[in-house]
Amino acid sequence: MGEKILIIGGVAAGPKTACRLKRLMPDAEVTIIDMDSIISYGGCGIPYFVSGEVSDEKELRTTSFHVVRDEKFFNDAKGVSMLTRTKALAIDRKAKTVLVENLDTGEKKDLSYDKLVLATGSTPNRLQIPGADLQGVYFVNDMHRAMAIKDDLAKGRVAKAVVIGGGAIGLEMAESLTDLWGIETTVLEYMDQLLPRIVDPAFAGMLAKHFRDNNVTVFTGESATGLEADETGRVCRVITPKRAIDADLVIMSVGVRPRSELAREAGLQVSRQGGIEVNNCMQTSDPDIYAAGDCVEILNQVSGMKNIAPMGSLANRQGRVAADNIAGIPSQFEGWVGSFIMKAFECCIGGTGLSYSSAKVLDFDAAVAITAQSDRAHFFPTQAVIMLQMVFDKTSRKVLGIQGFGPMNDSILARINAGAGLIARGATIEDFSNLELAYAPPFSTAVDALNATANAADNIAAGRLRTISIEDFMNWMDNPQAKPGWAALDIRHPKEAAEFVDAFGNDLWKAIPYVNVRSRHKELPNDKMLIIICDAGTRSSEVQIFLDSVGLTNSLVLAGGFNAIRRIGPGWWPSQ
């Protein structure tokens, strides 16, 4: 018989490693153990199961050819022994055995291995607040909880819900509760914005407005301090420092931490953050033990920092690399860059690489370009404006990150995917200016939105474009007295500018249409900082250069223009 490979964990990285191993080493004896009875499921699909878009939980664990991936499937089709309801208690590295317990019978035994793979995943963080254990308070980390949530919904037990945590999973859950079940839903995020650290404030602002427009209440900078129960012991209220919110259901989605106790107890190296330490071959500090998935710590190729990246896509890639190396194929997992994408009702938000705020914290010489460009030819019927941001290092001119917000289709995906591989390789602004994205009017513009964003970054890096952040401009709009030397120069169509001229007065809000700036620039004051505003920022950039050339050198361009302002809405900052 072949080598004995034992894998602990049967959700994503574990099954991937097992199946790849059987393809590379058909003679190997591959065994997976998992504590759960339900294995090999697409956990990222849970919000769509809860919403009802996916009607049966089995759909999350069937193959593309409609066979359920259960024990029998792994045995018959894959030649992999799958032991469910089986818990690993301890690893004896010297004897190369794992002590396991059958959770149904209580029986314990040692399983021997030649190579061991830890795919133990992650465990959800639990807020240490009163009531966190009440009935009706759920995590979203396994199928049993997902089914319990859906059961509560189907039985009509839920009219109001609170989601604690404004990360991707929390927001996807909020959407599924609101959109399909019509539940009055509130999202609580203790940081100042949604998707903190992942996206920058302007993009989080667009997302928050879209959630609010879709009847989700969003409170940022606000944390749950306690949960209260009704007479039956079920949660009925969420308490924050500012208010009490009625809730028949609470989703607690405040991040995860690696499940690395087994590894630590076996003396393997585990990082301070709790991730199992691995090399590029996914090998732990014991060369006969590999690890992959949510339980490991990996290198971020942009920041150079090691951290936890609990994503199903990375788990699969790591599982493949682990299997390759066990089979003697020297493949490498070199790290991650942080690509993500998320549906949000009728919109989509995505990114790759670092946010501007992360880049600043990491001491990059970071700057940012924001554009509002058409996703396809402006004359094509399905055209829409997408907001893109490029974060770059002014010194090295390397692109550090991209973010996008647009309609719910694959237009943002197409730009994020274009950037991911290049950012991992340290590509520069020029590489993105010249990136040959596919063009035809139904799909893109001759100068693709991503190229245009790189061109804006190039102009900023070279000092040819001076911008003001959306936050600073919106703060000025809220309180113009705070910056007495500023005035807006609105170069949009006079009809579009009119309401602002009325509201702010002609001194604070000058309106000269773009096509007339060259002939009418003498009307402009030379003692003001002019904030040039158009719809997208493109015409404003041109006007800034022209004004410089006629001696009006005191101006800033509103990047992204009114397309950004409109998407964020009034009163966005700080949150209402």
Q: How many angstroms separate the CA atoms of 63 and 260, rounded? A: 29
**Piece in contact with a second copy (CB under 8 A), picked from 187-195, 265-273, 408-416, 473-481:** 408-416
Query: Among the candidate windows 45-53, 222-230, 245-253, 467-475, which touches a second copy by CB under 8 A?
Result: 45-53
40 binds a second copy (CB under 8 A): no
With 0-12 CB in 10 A as exposed, 13-18 as middle and 19+ as buried, what is 307? middle
Q: Confirm or reject binding of residue 73 to a second copy (CB under 8 A).
A: yes
CA dist., res. 395 & res. 407, Å (int): 34
Per CB under 8 A, 24 contacts a second copy? yes
**Smallest gap, in angstroms, from Cβ of residue 46 to a second copy?**
9
Q: Which residues in 511-570 contact a second copy (CB under 8 A)? A: 514-516, 518-519, 534-536, 539, 541-542, 545-546, 548-549
- Residue 391 tokens, joined: 């974060």
Q: How many CB atoms lie within 10 A of CB 187?
A: 29
Q: Which residues pair with 537 in a beta bridge?
A: none
Q: Which is nearer to a second copy, 263 or 282 (CB)?
A: 282
Whether the Cβ atoms of residue 508 and residue 489 lie closer than 8 Å to each other? no
Smallest gap from residue 373 Cβ to a second copy (A): 8
Q: Which helix (H) or strand (E) holds 17?
A: helix 13-24
190 binds a second copy (CB under 8 A): no
**Please, which residue, 45 or 131, has the CB nearer to a second copy?**
45
3-state secondary structure of 536: coil
205 is a contact residue toward a second copy (CB under 8 A): no
Residue 297 CB, shortest distance to a second copy, in Å, is 17
Q: Which of 89, 261, 378, 525 binds a second copy (CB under 8 A)?
A: 378
DSSP letters, 351-406, are: EEE--HHHHHHTT--EEEEEEEEESS-TTSTT--EEEEEEEEETTT-BEEEEEEEE
Return the number of the residue (240 or 300) whose C-beta is nearest a second copy.
300
**Subset of 153-172 contacting a second copy (CB under 8 A):** 168
**CA pair distance 333, 503, nearest whole angstrom:** 56
- Closest approach of Cβ 287 to a second copy, in Å? 22
Helices (H) and strands (E) in the chain, counts: 17, 31
Member of 9, 14, 15, 45 binding a second copy (CB under 8 A):
45
Verify cis geometry, omega within 30 degrees of 0, for the bond prior to 574: yes
| Residues that contact a second copy, how many (by CB under 8 A) | 112
By CB under 8 A, residue 94 contacts a second copy: no
Least Cβ distance, residue 311 to a second copy (angstroms):
7
Judged by beta carbon, residue 246 or residue 542, the one nearer a second copy is 542
Please report whether residue 272 would count as binding a second copy according to CB under 8 A.
Answer: no
- Under the criterion CB under 8 A, does residue 343 sit at the interface with a second copy? yes
- Label residue 156 left, alpha or beta by phi (over 0 means left) and psi (-120 to 50 means alpha): left
DSSP string, 335-354: -B---EEEEETTEEEEEEE-
Which run of H or E residues covers position 187? strand 184-189
Q: Interface residues for a second copy in 296-335 (CB under 8 A)?
A: 311-317, 320, 329, 331-334
Binds a second copy (CB under 8 A): choice among 1, 446, 481, 495? 446
Check binding of 286 to a second copy (CB under 8 A).
Answer: no
Residue 468 contacts residue 475 (beta carbons within 8 Å): no
Which range, of 98-106, 206-214, 281-289, 419-427, touches a second copy by CB under 8 A? Answer: 419-427
**Could you tell me how many residues make up the chain?**
576
Q: Which of 255, 441, 525, 574 binds a second copy (CB under 8 A)?
A: 441
Query: Residue 103, Cα to own-chain centre: how many angstroms?
Result: 35
275 versus 404: smaller Cβ distance to a second copy: 404
| Residues 249-268 within binding reach of a second copy (CB under 8 A) | none
The 3-state DSSP class for residue 244 equals strand
> Minimum distance from CB of 572 to a second copy (Å)?
25
Cβ of residue 192: shortest distance to a second copy, in angstroms?
Answer: 24
CA dihedral 69, 72, 73, 74 (to 10 degrees): 90
Longest dimension (CA), the chain: 89
Question: According to the binding rule CB under 8 A, does residue 1 interact with a second copy?
Answer: no
CB of 131 to a second copy, least distance (A): 31
